[in-house]
Structure 1
Amino acid sequence: MPANNFDINGLSAEEVLRARAKNGLNKLDYKKENSLLKAIKRIFIEPMMILLLAAASIYFISGKTGDGFFLVAAIIFQTSISLFQYSRSKNALEKLKDFSQPKCKVIRSGKVEEIKSEEVVIGDSLMVEEGGSIAADGVIIHSNDFSVNESILTGESLSVFKDKTKEDNRIYMGTTVATGLAIATVTAIGNQTKLGKIGSSLESINEEKTPLEVQIANFVKKMAIAGALVFVIVWIINYLHSHNIMGSLLQSLTLAMSILPEEIPVAFTTFMALGAWRLMKMGIVVKQMKTVETLGSATVICTDKTGTITENKMTLAKLFVLSSQKTLAPGDIKTPEEKELLAVAMWASEPIPFDPMEMALHNTYKEVAGKDERPYYKLVHEYALSGKPPMMTHIFEDGKSHRVIAAKGAPEALMAVCSLSDAEKKQANDAIALLAADGYRVLGVGSCIFTGNDYPESQQDFKFTFLGIVAFYDPPKENIRQVLEKFYTAGISVKIITGDNAATTLAIARQIGFKGYDKSITGDALMLLPQDELEACVMNTNIFTRMFPEAKLKIINALKSQNQIVAMTGDGVNDGPALKAAHIGIAMGKKGTEIAKQAASLILLEDDLSKMVDAIAMGRKIYANLKKAIQYIISIHVPIILTVFIPLALGWKYPNIFSPVHIIFLELIMGPTCSIIYENEPMEKNTMSAKPKPFTSTFFNWKELSVSLIQGLVITLGTLSAYQYCVAHNYTESATRTMVFTVLIVANIFLTLVNRSFYFSMLTTLKYKNAMVPLIILITAGLWSVMFFINPLTLFFGFERLTAGQALLAAGIGFVAVTWFEIVKLVKRKSN
């Protein structure tokens, strides 16, 4: 048999290089807005940046140029930090795009090669197969039972059959292969394709915002509105006291700045983008940011059997010949009937096999057949895998018009189209039961004689003769038992959804210690269940056999209706609808079709289910760390807001204790703390032994929000106690400001450490590996020291050098105002 079976050489390496130099890469490129300018524009319309610019302008107008320049420097620093975070996120996403780029097959120098779709050139011989996405426009030069879905271009959902003899003999970029195989000479790539000419509307489809993203946006919006209202109220109060418009404006801007939690959206974007990048480094490609958010909530994993639970290394293990009622190993094939069964099973496979079972049949045929007939026969007609349960039929002819009509598929599908006596049916069923009980995957094999050229529309209309059974063994993966245990420990249930029969699936499930292996249901039986019984069934049953697309989709939707967060693995064309419907669609990177990869939200590059354990662990870690960051932001914002507002509102001795420069300094410390420290936090040791978090539960639920508010109120109690202590001891305004500011700085440092875990003690979390923690704390302490020990800066901030006793008192108040929460954590650990 020729290497590619089509006598097509394709382009040589030199011709490929010339074509690429002339026409470029196969990419859709449209004029896009400069991403850097877009990012800068977005930064400068943020409420915090508007307040900073306003404050800087007022300082310059008032003649306080030093304060004005400080705010300008703060604006530059803030912009640099934002652009750095944007650059990190953008680079991570660009790498993800490169990783998730679709692949395609071309014939070059007489060999089939798999390349990235963007590497296709004009003149290439592009090979497209069932389940694949077409990478370029071209003219068909060879095809077998080839049909294509062109709905992306035409809106028509029905598949169109094409071959080189028809008027419409072209294929188009972006369309998908419904059945068969074709080879086409590429005529257009990139923007010159039919899809490319549609326009830039296809260049980027914005992702829908996730529930968490919407909630964050709403929270920040509400805080911005609150900040605007407080700004007006404080301006009026200040003006009534001082009759100084500019001074009143500055004080009201100070409070408005303290209210805005602008770090939250930055933290969310950073955590999600870098989380996706970390997953990619683990061999898990996330196509949509919302998947990162959803991963930690998964309650059910629906997995295929072949290639996910098992190795997908099919070996032909046994054959059952109906005529002799003999079951034998491939090495024992001797008689003409035994050789005929093997040959017909091989002819019923693809000429270029890519399915492991078909590859096993071809390899065994080559070893057993005395004479290899394959080079003399050509595939003239093909019936794709179809039916419930499915079967497929191939028709081959040689140059002397000798014809082979071969079919294989689910044994019950073949038996249904063959004339078998009751005794023969019993013999076949007994053999199937015996083979399936040992975990073998079984296929029925049949052949027929048909002399005309007007083939029936349906393969089931042929009058087949049932020849027997071929049985394959696909061993379970070595690590699958441990993977299942990790899912069970994490509170995640696992369900097997397979096209295989019940006996084979149950045998494999028993071998791997799968929970609920003794109970199963078929696709046909599932479709007959009323809705209430269906919902109970999907919750109580863990093995689903003889499944087809509609049944798979029904399972996913029924689980979702029971408030389950569903992850589903898939690799074939018929998995597409269910992958899209699942909260987390998981395609296999190696054996997955392009249709499956397009429908999925996540791709496992190594086809290894253990990677899903890693992905869920990463999802839980990202969510937990994001929650810590947000709770930190809320906890530290509360004392800043109240320390600015209460002295002013209650008319205390020093009503304007902080100015915009102090608030900006605190903001510059808090931003990196929440985005850098918490993003780098390792996973806590109890993360994968906890139950999945409810998907609707976020850091804005009242219980967690109340913890942050209480933490903030206790820190406020500390700052205001220090304030009143200073007033009671007749400290100057600058000394009072220094004490209060020191309390806030120390509280900020210890809040960072305490909130690294809401369960384990600070002594435990100090052992966590996170190089950013000492770095950021040292920078914060260093900046504090510079402000207090370098006179020009001390005067600029309106501070006063403290005595050792005053500094220790302020530090002690800050320490106690935060570390009390360690007692709460101790009580929680004791109760558990």
Structure 2
Amino acid sequence: MPSNNYDIKGLTNEQVLLSREKFGENTLKYKQKNTVLDAIKNLVKEPMIILLLVAALIYFVSGKIGDGIFLSSAIIIVSVIALFQDSRSRNALQKLKNLTQPHCKVIRDGETLDLKSEEIVVGDNLIVEEGTSIPADGKIILSNDFSVNESILTGESLSVFKDKDKDEPYVFKGTTVVSGSAIISITQIGNETKLGKIGKSLESINEEKTPLEIQINNFVKKLVITGAIVFLIVWAINYFNSHNVLDSLLKALTLAMSILPEEIPMAFTTFMAIGAWRLMKMGIIVKQMKTVETLGSATIICTDKTGTITENKMSLAKVFSLSSQKIVNTLDANEDEKEVIKTAMWASEPIPFDPMEEALHNAYSQLHSIDERPNFKLVHEYLLGGKPPMMTHVFENNSGKKIIAAKGAPEALIGISNLSTEEKKQIVEAIQTITQEGYRVLAVAESNFVGSDYPEIQQEFQFKFKGVVAFYDPPKKNIKKVLEDFYQAGIAVKIITGDNAATTIAIAKQIAFQGHEHSLTGDELMKLSDTELQEKVMHTNVFTRMFPEAKLRIITALKEQNQIVAMTGDGVNDGPALKAAHIGIAMGKKGTEIAKQAASLILLEDDLSKMVDAVAMGRKIYTNLKKAIQYIISIHIPIILTVFIPLALGWVYPNIFSPVHIIFLELIMGPTCSIIFENEPMEKNTMQQQPRPLTKTFFNWKEITTSIIQGLIITIGTLFTYQYSIYQGLDETHTRTMVFTVLIAANIFLTLINRSFYYSIFTTLRYKNNMVTLIIAITVSITGLLLFIPPLTNFFEFETLTIKQLSTCIGIGFVSVIWYEIVKLRTRMISKNK
């Protein structure tokens, strides 16, 4: 925005520094949450940490100092891993918070700057306009038909008109601009603002848990309860056999450790937070983690036309003058057409920020040698309103001459102008001719009025219809490909626009938009009953002449049809619909602060193709999280049963594993599920599948059954190894080593097999994920040290295996897992035959 439209210079850089030094930054100081200290406190409450502490204490009391030191070291390692994952999550979320901070326009040194709201200082001159959130308290020094919603402070939803000459020429932080524009001199910032003093910080609002998070927490709670019951049973059995309280307690703790799936909540938090961070790097700001979870389920994208499907680069292309009855290109305009353009310019804001109004001001400058704008002052304004909408401006010069100009939807101005039937027919025909080529049209009218007692509503003026101005806003170059990607992913697209049907359908045809043949206007939609609308909305893809209530009804009707709805929006009036949609999408560049606040996701580049990327990322995160949790369930089952069955059935070596073995397995499994699976690339068929129903439970019976069967077959492998070792006459340490080695081998092969439940291992081995090689190499190396370095072998009560024994263990681990490749082959064959 050019700064020379204001006679305001603003603060100098030196004055800004002095003000900041004296009054501080424009931030609300609140009690810091999710700090490292909070993370440590939460960690101490973790059941696994408590079990490790108890087990370490028992070892120390029993005189097994080495085991006690190992478990103490394990506590440190587990804590470091947990804190590292928590730190990654917190850092990712903090960066997201910084990026979603509101921006504002400030005049400094005679220039208009775009700054983060925290950078403004007392004394700054702030420009606020329709749709922005006011970032600090201040006094109005210049305003134009300016009204503010102060409900955050007063609870009153009606907007309040403000002016520098009124009794209360002040605005306050957290309130929003409903109409007009103003320049504010900042008087209070941060905690000194009215909002800061009453402590209504948005940071204090707790985010609700998502359905997936609730499911996972309930699943973990059930396992914890199961673990506690089994723990008591095993403690009782061991005590009955040995009458040694500490020894039986230690053996029961071993089983309890094997049951606790503490990796699951950590995996969920990590996947969601890092997923949000990955989206941010792609130019997609996710304001809430729950949005990441919902993205992969989107079934319908509702998009506006201007700036989303089209470039939002308005050029004044054609003009129709009623007096000349001609449609001409702008550059070929004669006096009649020039008058239409001139009237349309006067009907615009004196300082335009809307692309169409900027185009009108530019055309006026080019076509009129004498610029009358400096001689006239805006004395009265009627806001854009009505159905269809229109707006009117009243200008006056020093000699009292008035210019009353209106522009808006042709239907609105035709309805209030004094026109003959023939003239109406000529206008309608001209509009049809223009709109069928994809042009966006505005009608223009003027009025004469004496005095200053203006009508209450603009429609009461006696208007003379002047003509129509037509703008061309070309479709974005990539929009066809974007639509193809949505359709391929099973996602329907609907256009919801304030523009007329002819223009919208013409653009829709150009971009091969499905369902452009049928459209519905806002007025038609509002006449339908809820039942009729729910049916109609599923088969209609083009909605025109929309207004806030109509948009909200569309979103509500789609949700009633169990659709997962994403909606794009940028204006103040889009707020209710953005909030109502499952995924509200605001535009980062042209979006108002109101739209950004109401939305759950912001596209920094106003590029709808990013939504394809976002949906793909949502599906990938969900799929990879499911793989990680299925892996955790599968590998926990053999650990639990290998500990429990020999004890319950009274086998020769009833306590094959101790806490040191279990915690070692846990240390391997944690990084495997969180690091390997989080880094997995998206499978190539992900965006060809239908969206996942949000009602579908995360732990559905088919997938749980798959994991249980995988775990049981690995258990058969470990118990077979156990019995085979005894059959070979091997002692307890040899048996333990072989069973442990089978578990490690099965863990490695399960990781490779479960990278896809559809494609073969030969396909997934070609996936680019460097973490697979790294984590498996570390696992193999450490296992090798335990088996072949005598001090470690002795500490873990292992024996060094022969090549034949080692090969046998690896072979059993391989066979215990590789069978699932046959299941995947069958799945692919069935899929191809459909």
TM-score band, normalised by the shorter chain?
A: over 0.9
Q: 1:328-358: per-residue Cα shift (whole Å, max 9, x none)?
A: 11111221x3222111101111111111111
Structure 2 equivalent of residue 378 of structure 1: 377
Structure 2 equivalent of residue 343 of structure 1: 342
* Equivalent residue runs for 1:715-734 within 5 Å: 715-734=714-733
Distance 2:696 2:450 in 1: 67
Is the contact made by 2:122 and 2:186 (CA closer than 8 Å) also made in structure 1? yes
Letter in 1 for 2:546: M
Distance 2:599 2:111 in 1: 30
Distance apart, 1:305 and its partner CA: 0.4
Change in Cα spacing, 1:631 to 1:214, as seen in structure 2 (3 Å) is: same
Answering whether residue 675 of structure 2 is matched by residue 676 of structure 1, we say: yes
Structure 1 equivalent of residue 497 of structure 2: 498
User: Which SS does the other structure have where 2:467 is aligned?
Assistant: strand
Q: 1:467-517: per-residue Cα shift (whole Å, max 9, x none)?
A: 010000111111100110000000000000000000000000001000000
Is the contact made by 1:4 and 1:352 (CA closer than 8 Å) also made in structure 2? no
Structure 2 equivalent of residue 98 of structure 1: 98
Q: 1:776-800: per-residue Cα shift (whole Å, max 9, x none)?
A: 0010001100101111111111111
Is the contact made by 2:578 and 2:595 (CA closer than 8 Å) also made in structure 1? yes
Letter in 2 for 1:90: R
Distance apart, 1:34 and its partner CA: 7.5
User: Which SS does the other structure have where 1:350 is aligned?
Assistant: coil
Structure 2 equivalent of residue 206 of structure 1: 206
Answering whether residue 145 of structure 2 is matched by residue 151 of structure 1, we say: no
Structure 2 equivalent of residue 550 of structure 1: 549
Structure 2 equivalent of residue 541 of structure 1: 540
Distance 1:368 1:597 in 2: 38
Distance apart, 1:201 and its partner CA: 5.3
Is the contact made by 2:2 and 2:112 (CA closer than 8 Å) also made in structure 1? no
Structure 1 equivalent of residue 43 of structure 2: 43
Structure 1 equivalent of residue 706 of structure 2: 707
Is the contact made by 1:2 and 1:375 (CA closer than 8 Å) also made in structure 2? no
Is the contact made by 2:28 and 2:201 (CA closer than 8 Å) also made in structure 1? no
Q: 1:374-406: per-residue Cα shift (whole Å, max 9, x none)?
A: 112221221111111111111112222221111
Distance 1:182 1:384 in 2: 15
Structure 2 equivalent of residue 755 of structure 1: 754
Distance 1:303 1:233 in 2: 59
Structure 2 equivalent of residue 593 of structure 1: 592
Is the contact made by 1:586 and 1:601 (CA closer than 8 Å) also made in structure 2? yes
Structure 2 equivalent of residue 315 of structure 1: 315
Distance apart, 1:200 and its partner CA: 6.5
User: Which SS does the other structure have where 1:494 is aligned?
Assistant: strand
Which segment drifts farther, 512-521 or 387-396?
387-396
Distance apart, 1:22 and its partner CA: 2.0
Is the contact made by 2:3 and 2:107 (CA closer than 8 Å) also made in structure 1? no
Q: Which aligned runs of 4 or more in structure 1 are off by greater than 6 angstroms?
A: none
Distance 1:389 1:237 in 2: 80
Distance 1:198 1:290 in 2: 29
Structure 2 equivalent of residue 580 of structure 1: 579
Distance apart, 1:24 and its partner CA: 2.0
Distance 1:538 1:129 in 2: 34
Answering whether residue 227 of structure 2 is matched by residue 227 of structure 1, we say: yes
Is the contact made by 2:718 and 2:742 (CA closer than 8 Å) also made in structure 1? yes
Distance 2:473 2:529 in 1: 35
Answering whether residue 456 of structure 2 is matched by residue 485 of structure 1, we say: no
Distance 1:750 1:698 in 2: 27
* Equivalent residue runs for 1:187-266 within 5 Å: 187-199=187-199, 202-266=202-266
* Alignment: residue pair count: 831
Distance 1:380 1:16 in 2: 34
Distance 2:459 2:631 in 1: 66
User: Which SS does the other structure have where 1:405 is aligned?
Assistant: strand
Distance apart, 1:531 and its partner CA: 1.7
* Equivalent residue runs for 1:287-306 within 5 Å: 287-306=287-306
Structure 1 equivalent of residue 70 of structure 2: 70
Distance apart, 1:636 and its partner CA: 0.3
Which segment drifts farther, 176-185 or 27-36?
27-36
User: TM-score if structure 1 supplies the norm length?
Assistant: 0.99
Which segment drifts farther, 169-178 or 696-705?
696-705
Distance apart, 1:453 and its partner CA: 1.0
User: Which SS does the other structure have where 1:203 is aligned?
Assistant: helix
Structure 1 equivalent of residue 570 of structure 2: 571
Letter in 1 for 2:308: T
Distance 1:468 1:33 in 2: 59
User: Which SS does the other structure have where 2:5 is aligned?
Assistant: coil
Q: 1:516-535: per-residue Cα shift (whole Å, max 9, x none)?
A: 00000001111111122111
Is the contact made by 2:215 and 2:698 (CA closer than 8 Å) also made in structure 1? no
Is the contact made by 1:29 and 1:203 (CA closer than 8 Å) also made in structure 2? no
User: Which SS does the other structure have where 1:186 is aligned?
Assistant: strand
Which segment drifts farther, 788-797 or 288-297?
788-797
Distance 1:497 1:2 in 2: 32
Q: Percent identity?
A: 70
User: Which SS does the other structure have where 1:320 is aligned?
Assistant: strand
Distance apart, 1:11 and its partner CA: 1.3
Distance 1:34 1:755 in 2: 33
Structure 2 equivalent of residue 61 of structure 1: 61
Q: 1:794-820: per-residue Cα shift (whole Å, max 9, x none)?
A: 111111111111111111000000111
User: TM-score if structure 2 supplies the norm length?
Assistant: 0.99
Letter in 2 for 1:432: I
Structure 2 equivalent of residue 692 of structure 1: 691
Q: 1:107-159: per-residue Cα shift (whole Å, max 9, x none)?
A: 12222221111111100111110111001100011111110001111111110
User: Which SS does the other structure have where 2:204 is aligned?
Assistant: coil
Is the contact made by 1:28 and 1:203 (CA closer than 8 Å) also made in structure 2? no
Is the contact made by 1:718 and 1:814 (CA closer than 8 Å) also made in structure 2? yes
Structure 2 equivalent of residue 444 of structure 1: 443
Is the contact made by 1:630 and 1:699 (CA closer than 8 Å) also made in structure 2? no
User: Which SS does the other structure have where 1:587 is aligned?
Assistant: strand
Change in Cα spacing, 1:409 to 1:34, as seen in structure 2 (3 Å) is: closer
User: Which SS does the other structure have where 2:663 is aligned?
Assistant: helix
Letter in 2 for 1:406: A
Distance 2:65 2:399 in 1: 98
Is the contact made by 1:380 and 1:396 (CA closer than 8 Å) also made in structure 2? yes
Is the contact made by 2:570 and 2:591 (CA closer than 8 Å) also made in structure 1? yes
Distance apart, 1:95 and its partner CA: 1.1
Distance 1:793 1:764 in 2: 37
Is the contact made by 2:105 and 2:128 (CA closer than 8 Å) also made in structure 1? yes
Distance 2:556 2:601 in 1: 19
Is the contact made by 1:131 and 1:176 (CA closer than 8 Å) also made in structure 2? yes
User: Which SS does the other structure have where 1:483 is aligned?
Assistant: helix
Is the contact made by 1:631 and 1:699 (CA closer than 8 Å) also made in structure 2? no
RMSD: 1.1
Structure 2 equivalent of residue 623 of structure 1: 622
Unmatched runs of 5 consecutive residues or more in structure 2: none
Q: 1:351-378: per-residue Cα shift (whole Å, max 9, x none)?
A: 1111111111011100001201111222
Distance apart, 1:4 and its partner CA: 4.3
Letter in 2 for 1:376: N
Is the contact made by 1:396 and 1:403 (CA closer than 8 Å) also made in structure 2? yes
Letter in 2 for 1:257: M
Letter in 1 for 2:242: S
